[in-house]
Amino acid sequence: MGIPLAVMAGGMSSASAQGADGDSVDRGPIARGEYIFNAADCLGCHTMPKNGQRLAGGRALKTPFGTFYTPNITPDRETGIGGWTDRDFIRALREGRSPNGTAYFPVFPYTSFTHLTDQDLRDLKAYLDAQPPVSQRNKPHEVSPPFGWRFLLPVWQALFLDKDGLPEETGRDERWKRGRYLVQAAGHCGECHSPRNFLGAVDHNRMLAGSPTGPEGKAVPNITPDPEKGIGKWSEGEVTFLLEIGMQPDGDFVGDGMREVVENSTSKLTAEDRAAIAAYLRTVPPLGR
């Protein structure tokens, strides 16, 4: 789920309504929530590498605007989200606002999570509520003015936060819709794999075309089907194999942030969901840099 990764009654696409566990068996909210948790890679962002307390936050996310620290999302009532209601939780992920109404910085990918279904959000909260509480206070962000001025964030959200839901697409099958939901909402792939404008908003005209300044300031590759700059020469099987074990078609393995994504997230999806992601990526506009 990351802070580095809202309540909408209508406008949900049929793909969104499917939920994120990829099957029709009702396994209960905690089990379903665990699947959402993995699909969104909440563990990677909200746990300090190596010896951090699980989901207690504190991980530094370096950006061109400064360094942000991820929050504690354990059910501790004093330092985590243990006092949040379902409505508070849905508002945070859908509207980018805290229980007291304060706007969150968009390093928290609520611009993608806003497209998650209410059911998926409630299930995710049920899973988080079932985790061990950890008492660990959040670290203050290290962001210089004017980028650290929270009072400007409602203006940013009015400009760039689209809460209308994923648009309905005619002529697309359920696998494509499922893939789009996982890429654009749960997996929030565009948050890392797309360039951003000078205000930090994802450039939707260059969605998934890669970014020279991704997380930790490192370049993130183009994953559109462009044959030269992207993954247009990859087969669906090669894409799904990377999502399962992290191996690229040339035999090399992904490193850095994508290695964590594979370990914490995509390797834990069903084979059907990995195939849906691959199928969807083959249909997005091919974009060369």
Contact (CB, 8 A) for 16 and 181: yes
Bridge-based pairing of strands 66-69 and 142-143 is antiparallel
In this prediction, residue 289 carries a pLDDT of 60
* Per-residue model confidence as pLDDT tens digits over 203-221: 999 999 999 887 777 889 9
- Cα dist from 235 to 104, 186, 274, whole Å: 39, 23, 13
* Per-residue model confidence as pLDDT tens digits over 78-115: 999 999 999 999 999 999 999 999 999 999 999 999 99
Instruction: Measure the CA dihedral 247/253/257/260, to 10°.
Output: 60
Cα Rg of the chain (Å, integer): 18
* Residue 140: cis peptide before it, omega within 30 degrees of 0: no
Give the integer Cα–Cα distance in Å for 169 and 280. Answer: 13
Say which residue, 278 or 256, is predicted with more confidence: 278
CA atoms within 13 A on the CB side of 247: 7
Q: How many CB atoms lie within 10 A of CB 272?
A: 12
The one-character DSSP state at 51 is T
Contact (CB, 8 A) for 42 and 1: yes
181's tokens: 């939901």
What does pTM read for this prediction?
A: 0.88
Q: Which residue has the tokens 């209308």?
A: 164
Model confidence at 12: pLDDT above 70:
no
